[in-house]
Amino acid sequence: MNLLNVIPVIGWIIAAVICFFIAIPVFFLWNWLAPLYLYFLPKVYLSIPFWHVFGLLWLISSLRGLLFPSISSSSSSSANADK
């Protein structure tokens, strides 16, 4: 298998690990504060399971990467081209 085809999978794994660790405080804060301050929401939104929080964060990060790709290309200026 070509190494370049493996790179997106590695990025997905790294994104999943990052989302996992971000989901922990988001899960606890949401389930603690939502019933107090967002009591008007339907009951299903007041107690969200951990894996749903993780999935939502991973989906948001994936969609952000698809819709707003980072433009990181190196451009050579004319000053560097003269050398």
pLDDT in tens, 45-80: 999 999 999 999 999 988 887 788 776 545 555 555
pLDDT value at position 2? 63
In the prediction, which pLDDT does 26 show? 96
Count the Cβ atoms, other than its own, within 10 Å of residue 20. 15
pLDDT in tens, 3-43: 656 677 787 888 899 999 999 999 999 999 999 999 999 99
Q: What is the DSSP string of 11-77?
A: HHHHHHHHHHHHHHHHHHHHHHHHHHH-TTS-HHHHS--HHHHHHHHHHHHHHHHHHS---------
Domain boundaries along the sequence of the chain: 7-67
- What's the pLDDT at 1? 53
What is this structure's pTM? 0.70
